[in-house]
Each structure stands twice: as structure tokens, then as C-alpha cells.
Amino acid sequence: RALRRRPLPSPKAPTPFVLRAMAVGAEAREGAGAPLPAGLAETWRQAFLLLVQSVGLNWRAVREARAERDEERREKEALLDFVIDQALRDVDEEDGDEHEEALGELLREAVRCIAGKSGNVAVVRRVLAEGADVNEEDENGKTALMWAAFFDDREEVVRELLEAGAAPNKRDQLGRTALHEATTSVPIARLLLEAGADPSLRDNGGRTALDVCEYCAADEDDSADEDDLPQFREKNAAVARLLREWPLPQQQ
């Protein structure tokens, strides 16, 4: 009660926070078509009320934006389901070995082109459920796991493939494993290591996954876009630190 009876402080020079509240509240009310009160925000109470009103308006805009995003996501998922249905029908028309190869290619395409950070991991799960061989190789000996490890936004896909039985130490024609590809993502590299990936394995050039990370983190590697180099090198260095600290199989 004493607090309720305490008078408001007399108007003084407003602080930066109050000035911001006044500005935000005024903009919100103007946008809503509401008339501005006389002596706009001359007191703390008016500034506070205007700020509360602006927050309410902003939350309404946030909810509307979320609803639009959800609708857009549902439309994309419906289109994706349609494309996968068509692809699976085409695969079903193949016989024997060609059917297996077509399923494997569809799985790798799903990993490369669809199941990114904003993609649909369920697509990979669905293709696997159709009987795709998770360790099927392409013409270069690369599996879906190797392709997933190459992208730094495929963590959930890597987890899904490993749970489906993907071999973490399988090699492509260059002798590289999925761990050699995971040079820019600590979470993916950790998933592979926890699944039994051997960091001591060397490719045909004699390089381990750590060697590849250190090379990419150094100035010698200029294959990435110049603007992206600092970001990539930082990621390479982080994966290299993980690999240095990870015990080799004989030390575990």
C-alpha cells in the first residue's frame, strides 16, 4: 500500500532507456493508427505504457510471421514428399542390382541436396526404410555418410546414417574416410569418433584426418572463397584440436 501511495517522480531529463521507450512506443502507436496522447511520454508512467503497447504490437507481428513460416514449411514438405514419391516409383521400376544402385543413389542425393540444416531428415529415414543400402558407394567410392560428413550442417543426418549401420571407417577410392571429410564440424567429427571412426587411418597420400584439418587450417589451403577463409580455418582448427585430444584405438 505504501508503494502504491508513493508519488511518481517529477519529470526530469529522461535516460537513454526512457528515450528509446518513448520512440518505440510512438512508432508503434503511429503504425497502429492510434492518436498520440497530449504531452507524449512526459512522465515515466507514459513511457512505460507506450513501451508495453509497442511490445504487444511486436508480439502480434512475431506470431503472424511464425504462422507464415509454418505454412511455408508445410508447403515445402508437401512438395518434397511428392518429389520423393515420384523418385521411389522410378526406383521401383528397376530390377535386381539396378534397383539397389538406384536406391543408393537416391539416398546419396537426399543427403547432398535435401537434408541440410533447414532440410528434412525424414527424407533420409524414408529412403532407408525402402531398403537402401546405407553403405552403397558411388562411382568414386563415396558413401552417403562421407557426403553427409562433408557438409557442416548435416549433424542429424550423420546420426541417422550411423544408427542405420553406416560404416565410419569405409574408404573411398582416394583412401579417405568420413572422418577425413568432417574437417569443418566438431559435432560431426565427434559423432564419427564415438561411432568408432579411427583417426589414425591414412588416405592414399599418407594423410590422417588430423593432417587434413591442419593443412586446411594453414595458409597453404586457398581453395575456399577469400571472405570465408577465416571462418573455415577456425572450424578446421577446432576439429584438429578434437582429433589431437582423442585417444587412438590402441590407447583406449
pLDDT band at 141 (very low <50, low <70, confident <90, very high): very high
Whether the CA torsion 94, 99, 101, 106 is positive or negative: it is positive
On average, the pLDDT of the chain sits at 76
**What is the value of pTM for the model shown?**
0.63
What is the residue whose three cell numbers read 583406449? 252
pLDDT, tens digit (0-9, with 9 covering 90-100), for 13-67: 555 555 555 555 555 555 555 554 545 445 556 666 666 666 555 666 767 778 8
Q: What is the pLDDT of residue 217?
A: 84
- In tens, the pLDDT along 162-215 reads 999 999 999 999 999 999 999 999 999 999 999 999 999 999 999 999 999 999
Q: Closest Cα to residue 127, out of 178, 165, 87, 74?
A: 87
By percentage, how much of the chain surpasses pLDDT 70?
60
What is the C-alpha to C-alpha distance for residues 127 and 189, in angstroms, rounded to an integer? 24
Rg (CA), the chain: 28
Give the 3-state secondary structure percentages of the chain, helix then strand then coil, rounded to 5: 60, 0, 40
Q: Which domains does the chain have, with CATH numbers?
A: 14-33+45-56 (no CATH), 74-251 (1.25.40.20)
